[in-house]
Structure 1
Amino acid sequence: MSDDDVDATGSLTRRETIEYGGAVVAGGLLAGCSGSESAPATDDTATGDTSAATGTATETTTEGSSYSVTMSPVGEVTFESPPETVFTRLTHHADMAFALGHGDDVTAMHAPDYYDGLWNQYVERLPGVTLDWAGLYSSWKPSKEKLYELDSDVHLADPAWIAQLDKWDQSDIDEIAENVSPWFGNSLSDIHREPTGEWADDYEYYGLWEQFELVAEAFRERARYEELAAVREELRSTIDADLPAESERPTAVMIAAADIEEIYTYTMNTPGFLTAHTRPLGPRDAFDGNVESNSVVDFEALLDADPDVVLHLGGMEPGTNMAERRVAFEDDPVASEITAVKNGRVYAQGARYQGPILNLFQLEMTAKQLYPDVFGEWPTYEEGPYPEIPEDEQLFDRQRVADAINGEF
């Protein structure tokens, strides 16, 4: 009987080539426990984050070449062959697929047109690399019926987060894993969110590159991962070697604002992969820990904090003009008094839900934005692709990254 003969009720196993091995999601059987920190090459923590990954990849003896990879919260997943199509919900997973040479195999993602435009601002600087996510299914609130229709080989998404959505419960999660393909993703590590329901008792948090390594094992793309991890390790070594003492670091805030009437702030040094490009650089929080992430503030609150640097999320998005954003600050009688505004240190940022490729670029750009005297000036950016940095001022090798993505190393 062909795969297409399976109905939507779960009466037959949908996919024989990719299946859960040993630990099925049903009944809340989860894998993963706290352990010691991993080596720097796969850990994106600099200070203050002691979470560690204990996921594993092992060859199985059944079906000859099958292999298993373990990642919280789903546990062990056995693959007979690498996935060829991949469902994602959040962009850190889509970027992982892209980094492993499977960007064109993504079938869904959150806000695909927006993030296609944003990611291509960076891809522009990777020779010979292309990316096209425009027009994909927008999966922020996916329907079970659509997942059947997409028929992806793997769901690179966190079932513990999917289960928190309306119209999804544990039986739906199990049904998709049984009849379509397994879940294999972790998203609550973003800010170390608390899992709920079936997932509450045993959930493991991963650093960005820790999770990327496990995803690479699932795709059998170990060589690509190791090449990119080596680039990242060299970048981190460069940063760590010259990072100024804490007392000499600037105060900073990270904000996002569709307009100046509603400004959101985000933490920069807290655990989780959302800070994988700021935490290693250790900027001093201008709010001194008194403002929680995702809080709304006004110009008066920003002036009270008086940061040396303002990092503006979304500033690299194609529809954003950073020159106009700076003028909005400069023309306001309150905002114009902020030290960062007076000194021209309001900088564009990309996205917090970054995967490994965006992380490399954002580590470089943020290092230059925070410490221009150490890592070189960040160009005055107004709009368009990631600025061209002279080769001798680049903190990582673009061609090496491009070759890894294209499998040409």
Structure 2
Amino acid sequence: MQRRQYLGLGAGALVTALAGCSDTTGESAPSGGSETPDGTEATETGSETQSGQNQSYTVSMPPVGAVEFDDVPETWVANNGSWADMGVALGLEPPKGVWLTERYHTQYYDQIPDVSVDKSEMVSLYQDGVSKELFYELDADVHVIDPNFLMNRFKGWEQADIDEIREQIGPFFGNSIFSTGYSWHEDYPYLSLMEAFEKLSEVFQRQDRYAAFESVHEEFQSNLESVVSEQSDRPSVAILWPAPVDQPDSFSPYLIGDGTSFKQWRDLQVRDALADTNVKDFHADRGAIDYETLLEIDPDVLLLRGNEQKSAAEFENTVLSFMRDHNTASELTAVQNGDVYRGGPLYQGPITNLLLTERAARQVYGADEQLFDRQRVADIVNGND
């Protein structure tokens, strides 16, 4: 039985499947109003009837268009840690699955009082490919996944498979917001972190939690602006994924783009050391660079992804120590000055963005104060705000 009725897709929404890549190195539209052809605006949510029962309600987002819910979803799966973190912020039960559980870094919540996530029973959707049968096993009420991500990343996934899951299990509701480097995402708009968060709050009918977080986010941005304004010169940074992670000899480069994966660096107004070079973004080119190329660019700061399970001390004692002893790496300005840091995850939501941006402000600007109220965040998550 179809538990969620799906109304339809916006014009040109689901892009024809392209040849998928098998990369695993792997990140506000107003509420209410009329729906545009590509589903960029949410329709008005349902209200309670005189009998006390909730009416169905509709939420729209590109590329999935308008999705009608008969009642509020209870179980869900999330494409990645960005959406999973939004769910935590809304006070939801954790998703039954995410893209890769190891890339959903729940240790960040240790910094927020009375907030934690147990992912011991959470399933990785990617298991040497993505199985349609796994969706049946998880049996979620809603799949917070961009269907184009599935169809364009993996051979064998077609529109018919998306339709089958939608009709037999539950609808898709997602947009690949973490990176703007995918060519198949050019036919429909991206959403900002807060825009996507607002959409998800409408799906789970927790708009009050979103409104509270929006207030925290605005206050945080104000505090961050005072930190940035004190800087007379913005450092040049290079965001890289090292390989091997502990003793790197090559790097996958990431150019700072509009995706949520780079929000903290945009907000800090750093200069992208790779932007005016011939180096291509990894998502667009799948290329790698070596130390010689890095030495030609010589960024002020190196930000190395793939190290989020390490503490700052562990990172310094492994990765930075190795680079200091490396013949070429040791010539880099960032290595000599000790300005090599963990570069943040691919995926971040409203809570993790607060923590990661504050950490980034310490890394590149030496900020030493707390820039947001952790207890206020905990109160919102726990429904006490």
TM tier, shorter chain?
0.7 to 0.9
Q: 1:395 aligns with which of 348, 360, 371?
A: 371
CA distance in 1, matches of 2:271, 2:204: 38
Match of 1:171 in 2: 160
Q: Matched residues, percent identical? A: 37
- CA shift at 1:109, angstroms? 1.0
Q: After superposition, give the CA deviation of every residue in 1:298-357 in whole Å (9 maximum; x if it has no partner).
A: 122222111111112133214993021111111112211211111111112330221221
Q: 2:292 aligns with which of 273, 288, 300?
A: 300
- CA shift at 1:83, angstroms? 1.0
Match of 2:302 in 1: 310
CA distance in 2, matches of 1:146, 1:203: 28
Q: 2:138 aligns with which of 146, 150, 157?
A: 150
- CA shift at 1:229, angstroms? 1.7
- Relative to structure 1, is the Cα distance of residues 349 and 288 closer, same or farther in structure 2, using a 3 angstrom cutoff? closer
Question: How does 1:263-342 map onto structure 2 within 5 Å?
Answer: 263-268=251-256, 270-290=257-277, 291-294=279-282, 295-318=287-310, 321-322=314-315, 323-342=317-336
- Relative to structure 1, is the Cα distance of residues 103 and 358 closer, same or farther in structure 2, using a 3 angstrom cutoff? farther
Q: 2:248 aligns with which of 260, 266, 275?
A: 260
Q: 2:67 aligns with which of 72, 77, 82?
A: 77
Which residue identity lines up with residue 163 of structure 1 in the other structure?
A: M
Match of 1:185 in 2: 174
Q: 2:365 aligns with which of 344, 351, 371?
A: 371
With the length of structure 2 as denominator, give the TM-score of the two structures. Answer: 0.83
- Alignment RMSD, CA only? 2.8
Give yes or no for the alignment of 1:109 onto 2:98: yes
CA distance in 2, matches of 1:138, 1:243: 38
Q: 2:114 aligns with which of 108, 113, 128?
A: 128
With the length of structure 1 as denominator, give the TM-score of the two structures. Answer: 0.78
SS at match of 2:214: helix
Which residue identity lines up with residue 107 of structure 1 in the other structure?
A: K
Match of 1:248 in 2: 233
Give yes or no for the alignment of 1:226 onto 2:215: no
CA distance in 2, matches of 1:367, 1:302: 23
CA distance in 2, matches of 1:138, 1:160: 18
SS at match of 1:59: coil
- Relative to structure 1, is the Cα distance of residues 317 and 29 closer, same or farther in structure 2, using a 3 angstrom cutoff? closer
- CA shift at 1:239, angstroms? 1.8
Q: After superposition, give the CA deviation of every residue in 1:171-225 in whole Å (9 maximum; x if it has no partner).
A: 11111111111100101562153327xxx7x522111111111011101111111
CA distance in 2, matches of 1:71, 1:143: 25
CA distance in 2, matches of 1:90, 1:129: 19
Structure 2 unmatched runs, 5+ = 16-27, 32-37
Which residue identity lines up with residue 395 of structure 1 in the other structure?
A: L
Which residue identity lines up with residue 91 of structure 2 in the other structure?
A: G
Q: 1:217 aligns with which of 199, 202, 209?
A: 202
Match of 1:67 in 2: 57
CA distance in 1, matches of 2:177, 2:261: 10
Match of 1:235 in 2: 220
Match of 1:388 in 2: none
- Relative to structure 1, is the Cα distance of residues 28 and 343 closer, same or farther in structure 2, using a 3 angstrom cutoff? closer
Alpha carbons 2:255, 2:274 under 8 Å: kept:
no
Match of 2:90 in 1: 100
Q: After superposition, give the CA deviation of every residue in 1:84-142 in whole Å (9 maximum; x if it has no partner).
A: 111122221222222211243x1111221x235x321x111111111011342211243
Question: How does 1:15-26 map onto structure 2 within 5 Å?
Answer: 15=3, 18-21=4-7, 23-24=8-9
- CA shift at 1:53, angstroms? 9.2
SS at match of 1:69: strand
CA distance in 2, matches of 1:341, 1:71: 44
Match of 2:350 in 1: 356
Query: How many residues end up aligned between the 2 structures?
Result: 350
Match of 2:77 in 1: 87
Structure 1 unmatched runs, 5+ = 1-12, 32-37, 43-51, 377-392
SS at match of 1:353: coil
Alpha carbons 2:39, 2:64 under 8 Å: kept:
no
- Relative to structure 1, is the Cα distance of residues 192 and 286 closer, same or farther in structure 2, using a 3 angstrom cutoff? closer
